[in-house]
Amino acid sequence: MRRSPKDTEESAAIVSRRGLILGGGMVAFATVLGTRMRHLQVNQADQFRLLAEENRINIRLLPPPRGQIFDRNGLLIAGNEQNYRVTIIRDEVDDPEKVLNDLSRLIPLTRKDINDVLEEMGRRSRLVPVTVADRLSWEDVSQVAVNAPALPGITPEFGLSRFYPRSDDYAHIVGYVGPVSDYDLSRIQNPDPLLQIPKFQLGKTGVENKFESSLRGKAGTKRVEVNAVGRVMRELGREEATKGDTLQLTIDTKLQNFVQARLSGESAAAVVIDVTNGDLVAIGSAPAFDPNKFVRGISVADYSSLTESKYRPLANKAVQGTYPPGSTFKMVTALAALEAEEIGIEETIYCGGFTELANRRFHCWKRGGHGKMNLRDSLKQSCDVYYYELAQRVGIENITKMARRLGLGERHDVPMSAVAKGLTPTKAWKAENRGKDWVIGDSLNASIGQGFVLASPLQLAVMTARLATGRAVSPRLVKAVDEKELPATTGEPLGLAKRTLDYIRDGMFAVSNESRGTAYRTRIADKTKRMAGKTGTSQVRNITAAERRAGVFRNEDLPWERRDHALFVGFAPYDNPRYAISVVVEHGGGGSTAAAPIARDIILAAQFDGIPPLSAYPSSQRGRIRSALEELPINDPTDGATQVSEA
Amino acid sequence: MSYLEYNLKSVPVGPSKLLYLNWAVVLLLVAIASIGFLMLYSVAGGSMNPWAEPQMKRFALGLVLMFSIALIPTWFLRNIAGLTYAICIVLLLGVEFFGSTGKGAQRWIDLGFMRLQPSELTKITLVLFLAAYYDWLDMKKVSRPFWVIIPVLIIAVPTYLTLRQPDLGTALLLVFGGGGLMFLAGVSWMYFAAVIGAGVGIVVGVFKSRGTDWQFLKDYQYRRIDTFLDPSSDPLGAGYHITQSKIALGSGGWTGRGYMQGTQSRLNFLPEKHTDFIFTTLAEEFGFVGGISLLALYIGVIVFCVFSAISNKDRFASLLTLGIALTFFLFFAVNMSMVMGLAPVVGVPLPLVSYGGSAMLVLMIGFGLIQSAHVHRPR
């Protein structure tokens, strides 16, 4: 490297000059960087600090535990159980399909599940967590938690889910909860933000639905610090959710269970009411279903078997079902006539088997006729002709008025779904709804609870309770909300003369305690528990003249759908009434054979607070009754109280 | 001054050379690296692992390396410049054929005990080779087209190979570093004017070619440019880096949230929080004061290097010092611009602060060269 000093100096000068230029350039650029830094960190600091807070703080709703429901004795009817699930938030994941596929290696997840979740995510906001899998085992959910770093957007969560320890027994009363549907949301103005929580459960039917606002509780919130993938780092603050109100029903689980067991196998309903305060102690409807299936998401097969069954298990027959009350209505007609003083107590009317009116024969159920009948005998033997005569004397308007005083044709205020109003017809009603004039035949049919008259088992039970007490007993299903007792009332006096009421009750006593009474066979032997009642058999078809001639009378010869409904109403103990009952067995045949035995067993169970002892039954029947009672699918109510989860 | 004189009279001998080091630069480097340790300790949530401790070990190794190289006479470095450059080219070719792929890019060769990124090393050897070239070249020929084309080719070959990996950040650094050296050597302004003109043309070409079969850049590179130009267009996708780093930076304010109190970086909002985006943690926790201090330290290094260079009468030594200073500058300037949203996201670490072995060791080798030039300067 030989070069002249001049060359070296010259080049060094160039390098120095250029070096200074470059150095100056670098310092200048550094100044630009410093200025920018100042701009971001000082001038815009507030704005960015706010963004940083938003980045870091996430407000999450804490779903409140749903209020529990207890029976009158404090046994759990509807509670909450621990439920593990996995959710995904669209916003936190780049490729949800891949993540879900990865997840399917840890927990059971079908191709279809994944597609459903993807579809659901498409419909919802990017920030809303979508449930991927529900009701996971602890093992599954732990698997997910451990692998969480590899599953962006996936969060294992635990929540509470509704559980009905009594399964079928309260299916119709309490109903069930289910996930919020779009339809539910569309009906609610200003929906509670809670409802946006995925799989949040809302009361769909029964008490769960009617008491939704008290049972739901109030959402809490928690402010959490999250990192970039939404993982919670720590909690900054929390406002606890307020638990929904606890409900206490008037139902007695033990009796309810007995009622459901006793009704099983039939398509039937029964209502037991405490006549002293209107408490509904049992409301049976059979067949029933397991509401837990609805909470968990019922399978299509299960659901269609419920909807397609001709016994209509989903219907709450006790309050929704309306039936022609048949002869159980006769007390109404009798009371109307007595109050209007159209008939004397000992006055007799002759029954020759039919009444001829307007060229039509109105038959008594007993073709040969009952002969001379007074009021007591007409109830005891359920003579129809006697009431045809009363109907002509008092007229339909008086009968209907009396029916309404006794609680028929009125929608009772009980928190269950689709409580029926029933029908107590008037002339105006027929003109309006049928476009035809009322004819005397309509009155005759109505007098024996046929024709247009319709009543639900609940209404019949209320009617019986009012007859038993002479007071306007009104049914009550909820005993206490949030441990505050709701007022119970014995009801205002109906204003009916005690003498007339006593006479009606005496007639009802004869029905089930005297020989030739229609329910004599189902009498109660225990003198302190004796029941007064009335049988009813209501036709669901007209018996044609041809049939009458051909002698097709026997229900057993007809297809089930065309058989008569069997009814029974009663109260007990006769001397000091405590419980009133109504039983309807759809297409069960005769009231005395199909409904009365059920009513007797139930009202005895109510009075004995458990399975009735054989001593309560007539000695001749004990052998048969013992085996029948033993076969009942009863379960001990205290079993379920501690059994929190079966899943 | 004859070669012999040069050697005997002015140059310290043996370990006493260490007394003649540019100690100001050493102290600045230690200060910068210490800031790095602090930040790595913080982003790990107050832990020496997984980053701070290995980083310290590497820095210690780097210091040893720097001191060792400082002892090597400059003339020897000049003599091996061509060889180191050739080795780097071979290694880059090696990556091309045998390299491992990480994050979609093929960048390193696994040597067993460490992963070697030849592209990092090339940043230094390119400067070294070009400095030697211009030292050899007669001053009068510097701006002649033939003698300009040769260094352009010297720059173009490794640039092409790193672009193939693809590593846009390193390629840019090579072009700017090499171009800067040509400028320092005295190549006519006219060439640079022409190149800048052509550069504008290429930028236009790059954008025009997008979506056609002959597009210049990969799709992700286009996206990065897009989001650089408008980060809000995709705040959770590709714009995420820029948006989040600006948020972290901006939320620091004047004095920051306090050490270990940064939320954005520790909560993982910041991607690459311990590597390319570590500056945001510093800025969040120590605010503007912290950020500007680090910048001042960097500028201090640059200033000392520039003065060392212009006071050095040896042309090779001057060019080498300035070239490496420029490379160092490019590192932090590009990184900070990127973090502050002034440049697209390219993978360039914050020198001596970001976690990472290759870059740190290569920089320490570079400073070793600067120290050697300083120690062995003609007096």
Smallest CA-to-CA distance from A334 within A325, A326, A344, A321 is with A344
Higher pLDDT: A569 or B348? It is A569
Whether the CB-CB separation of A425 and A446 falls below 8 Å is answered with yes
Residue contact B244–A41, C-beta within 8 A = no
Provide the edge-to-edge strand list for the sheet that holds B105-110: B100-102, B105-110, B115-116
- Find chain B residues with C-beta within 8 A of A9's C-beta: 313
- Find chain A residues with C-beta within 8 A of B186's C-beta: 11, 14-15, 18
Measuring CA to CA, how many Å separate A155 from each of A90, A93, A125, A151, A224?
A: 11, 11, 17, 9, 14
As a dihedral over the C-alpha atoms of residue A207, residue A213, residue A217, residue A218, rounded to 10 degrees, the angle is: 160
Whether the CB-CB separation of A318 and A457 falls below 8 Å is answered with yes
Scan for tokens 């419909």, then name that residue: A123
pLDDT at B376 over 70: yes
| Residues pairing with A158 in the sheet | A84
**What is the three-class DSSP state of B181?**
helix
Pair of tokens at residue A76: 């759990």
The per-residue pLDDT for range B175-231, each reduced to its tens digit, is: 999 999 999 988 888 888 988 898 888 888 877 777 677 777 777 777 767 766 665
Whether the CB-CB separation of B188 and B137 falls below 8 Å is answered with no
CA separation for the pair A52, B248 (Å, rounded):
7
- Decide if A48 touches B, using CB distance below 8 A: yes
Q: What is the pLDDT of residue B115?
A: 67
| A334 φ, ψ (degrees, to nearest 5) | -65, -45
The per-residue pLDDT for range B236-263, each reduced to its tens digit, is: 455 566 777 777 787 788 888 788 777 6
Q: What is the pLDDT of residue B272?
A: 67
Pair of tokens at residue A205: 């039917």
| Residues pairing with A221 in the sheet | A61, A239
Q: What is the pLDDT of residue B232?
A: 56
Pair of tokens at residue B96: 């091309």
CA separation for the pair B325, B301 (Å, rounded):
8
Give the ipTM: 0.88
| A233 φ, ψ (degrees, to nearest 5) | -95, -45
Nearest beta carbon to residue A22 from set B180, B313, B341: B180
- Find chain B residues with C-beta within 8 A of A34's C-beta: 292, 295
Q: What is the pLDDT of residue A205?
A: 92
- Decide if A42 touches B, using CB distance below 8 A: yes
- Find chain A residues with C-beta within 8 A of B302's C-beta: 23, 26-27, 30
Please count the CA atoms within 13 angstroms of the CA of A551 that sit on its side-chain side. Answer: 0
Residues in CB range of A177: below 8 A, 6 or more apart:
A66, A162, A201, A202, A203, A204, A208, A294, A295
Nearest beta carbon to residue A22 from set B263, B313, B326: B326
CA separation for the pair B333, B242 (Å, rounded):
16
| Residues pairing with A156 in the sheet | A86
- Decide if B319 touches A, using CB distance below 8 A: yes
Smallest CA-to-CA distance from A184 within A201, A171, A170, A172 is with A201
- Find chain B residues with C-beta within 8 A of A42's C-beta: 253-254, 288
CA separation for the pair A542, A540 (Å, rounded):
7
Whether the CB-CB separation of A363 and A429 falls below 8 Å is answered with no
Residue length of chain B = 379
CA separation for the pair A182, A117 (Å, rounded):
16
Whether the CB-CB separation of B155 and B181 falls below 8 Å is answered with no
The alpha carbon of residue A40 is apart from the nearest alpha carbon of chain B, in Å, by 5
Q: What is the pLDDT of residue A523?
A: 94
DSSP class of residue A514 equals S
The per-residue pLDDT for range B105-156, each reduced to its tens digit, is: 556 666 555 666 888 889 999 999 999 999 888 888 888 889 999 999 999 9
Q: What is the pLDDT of residue A461?
A: 96
**Residue of chain B minimizing CA distance to A92:** B236
- Decide if A30 touches B, using CB distance below 8 A: yes
Pair of tokens at residue B168: 């846009």
CA separation for the pair A598, A591 (Å, rounded):
10
Residues in CB range of A12: below 8 A, 6 or more apart:
B312, B313, B315, B318
List of chain A residues with pLDDT < 70: 1-8, 52-59, 124-128, 189-191, 196, 198-199, 225-234, 236-237, 541-555, 636-647
Residue contact B251–A51, C-beta within 8 A = yes
Smallest CA-to-CA distance from B107 within B173, B154, B62, B164 is with B164
The fraction of chain B above a pLDDT of 70, given in percent, is 84
Q: What is the pLDDT of residue A236?
A: 67
pLDDT at B68 over 50: yes
- Decide if B289 touches A, using CB distance below 8 A: no
Smallest CA-to-CA distance from B301 within B18, B19, B29, B69 is with B29
Smallest CA-to-CA distance from A396 within A441, A436, A365 is with A441
Q: What is the pLDDT of residue A124?
A: 67
